[in-house]
Structure 1
């Protein structure tokens, strides 16, 4: 089942269960997907939908940090609940060993030898890891590997 159809099914389930908080988060995700579809004037691929959901999660994590620092724990808890719902639609996270193997395979495949080749390595890794790993941390690992 595709991610979009999974979201639609979960929306129906949340409606039947009268789970308003969950329903709101799913509707928000679906509306973001529809907006991006209109903006790009084409259907979104699974990878693009994953990237959009990952971006939504990242935004909410930043909000949790800001609300916590500002002493607004009730708003931080609301954002954290939204993160929990959105994370259900991401694929299984990669382990540290799997990430290391993918990085070394990409470096070998591109023949990367220095930081100048980092873009080539990340271009291979991004589609493989979208939604399965924090790409910011992955780029840090690639940078460390290329500098070593």
Structure 2
């Protein structure tokens, strides 16, 4: 607040609000786990990406810029995101270990991959890579 950094302030307020909301939804006696916090942060980023895309489609670059700034702030609290090549290697190992051979096994592989890559890769990317490797 003192630095007058509005983007960081908006991002931190969004994080605080989401965490408080999650804590009160489940009951005040239950603590939020680190895994739960990661899911909340990923959800916030996903919402802002969708909003930014919509704003860009409508030609509202000013509003899209606000969303992109908040994505940067919130993303700073997530673990380093893996690139596509690293995700492909991990999923190839998971497919091999699970013995998956066809698209029928996609749900099983995506579930295992989501557990292992939680917070490190986007769910869309995971599903896309699994689909490409099983096809």
* TM-score under structure 2 length normalisation: 0.86
Q: Which runs of 5 or more residues in structure 1 are unaligned?
A: 1-14
1:63 deviates by: 1.0
Moved over 6 A (4+): none
1:128 deviates by: 2.1
**Which has the higher relative contact order, 1 or 2, with Cα contacts under 8 A spaced 6 or more apart?**
2
The structure richer in helix per residue is 1
- Show the counterpart of 2:85: 97
1:8-67 per-residue CA deviation (whole Å, 9 max, x = no partner) reads xxxxxxx45343431231121121012112223332222221111111111111111111
- Show the counterpart of 2:17: 31
Residues matched between the structures, number: 133
Structural RMSD (CA):
1.7
How far apart, CA to CA, are the structure 2 residues paired with 1:66 and 1:95? 25
> Residue 78 of structure 2 aligns to a residue in which SS?
coil
Task: Quickly say closer, same or farther: Cα 1:40–1:106, change in 2 above 3 A.
Answer: farther
Q: Which runs of 5 or more residues in structure 2 are unaligned?
A: none
Judge which range, 129-138 or 80-89, deviates more. Answer: 129-138
